[in-house]
Amino acid sequence: MPPELAGSGISPARGFMAEHAHYDDDLGFWEAHADRLGGPVCDLGAAAGRVTVRIAARGHEVWAVDTDPEMLAVLMERAAADGVQSRVHAIAGSMTDPLPVRDAGLVAVPMNTLQLLLDPADRLTCLRMAADALRPGGEMIFDLAMPHIEVTAELRGCLLDTGHSVDPGNGDLLMHGAMFDEVDIASGDVALRLLIERIHPDGSRTSVERAHRLHLYSPEEIPPLAEQAGLRVVSVAGGFHDEPLTPDAERHVWRLAKDPA
Ligand SMILES: C[S@@+](CC[C@H](N)C(=O)[O-])C[C@H]1O[C@@H](n2cnc3c(N)ncnc32)[C@H](O)[C@@H]1O
């Protein structure tokens, strides 16, 4: 069922912040790297500005790129509410397009967003565009889910309980679930549905589904991509707090630098 027909009818853009209110462990990481590298910053796949607004609040100019104009409208509403709209530039476009800013200190791609590029050629294009936009010494930083692809394949069709959160806007309790409908072990491509049940304060319930097709990267894929794009791997960690990357880590977090010519 297309997501807009399922349950509550809240669009991905309007539902984004509430549906991700429980995902905040990375915010200090992005703020610290923006402060270390300096602006301008480009936030690729910025969605509703979860990271953009936080970085702009620290005084940096941020170019927020997203293919979804409604996400960008929500992002600008949030930037205005926080009084940072003069430093935020919302750009409708793809992360495979030339970036809208030059001499960037940081190109950030938070929350697994590179996984949305299903065509391998697009992955290289995205890194090349970031390399073009960075100033020497600048960095492209992104996090990706660890694939755990065999386990993921075994879980295909199972409803996974991924926790709960509260919508700060109206007090709804959000119960989060996920289901992998397709898992291609050879390519790492998967079809994933996020299932969110809202329990309203009066006890009534509505539900919404968010369907995604994703590429789950193995850590081995990144160094050759970086090299082809002209970026140097500075580090890879197993989380946002410099955890070592171990096989059972939840994510891999990459820093790629543009070296002086
Ligand atoms: C997982 S959300 C991003 C979350 C956001 N980075 C954050 O940290 O809150 C993915 C976003 O990528 C956008 N998107 C999908 N394909 C894209 C593309 N090719 N270029 C830019 N944005 C894209 C979607 O519209 C969506 O807003």
Say which CATH architecture domain 148-215 belongs to: Single Sheet (2.20)
Give the distance (Å) from ligand 1 centre to CA of residue 141: 15
Element (H, E) at 31: helix 27-37
Give the distance (Å) from ligand 1 centre to CA of residue 47: 5
Q: What atom in ligand 1 is closest to the CA of residue 20?
A: 9
* pLDDT at position 6: 41
Give the distance (Å) from ligand 1 centre to CA of residue 111: 9
Give the distance (Å) from ligand 1 centre to CA of residue 50: 11
* pLDDT at position 130: 98
Map out the domains of the chain as residue ranges: 12-147+218-257, 148-215
Q: Beta strand pairing status for 41-44 and 62-66?
A: parallel
Which residue's alpha carbon is at the smallest distance from atom 27 of ligand 1?
47
* pLDDT at position 3: 38
Neighbours of 125 (CB within 10 A): 18
Q: Splitting the chain (261 residues) into consecutive groups of 10 residues, what average pLDDT does each group show?
A: 48 87 92 97 98 98 98 97 98 98 98 98 98 98 96 95 90 94 96 94 92 97 98 98 95 96 82
* pLDDT at position 18: 84
- E strand intervals along 146-230: 160-166, 173-184, 189-199, 205-215
The distance in angstroms from the start CA to the end CA of the chain is: 50
Which residue's alpha carbon is at the smallest distance from atom 20 of ligand 1?
94
The residues lining ligand 1, judged by C-beta closer than 6 Å to any ligand atom, are 44-47, 50-51, 65-68, 71, 94-96, 110-111, 113, 116
* pLDDT at position 110: 98
* pLDDT at position 8: 56
Give the distance (Å) from ligand 1 centre to CA of residue 49: 10
* pLDDT at position 5: 35
* pLDDT at position 25: 94
Say which CATH architecture domain 12-147+218-257 belongs to: 3-Layer(aba) Sandwich (3.40)
* pLDDT at position 10: 82
Half-sphere exposure of 43 (CA within 13 A, CB side): 30
How far is residue 239 CA from its own chain's centroid?
Answer: 14
How far is residue 71 CA from its own chain's centroid?
Answer: 13
Contact criterion met (CB below 8 Å) for 2 and 209: no
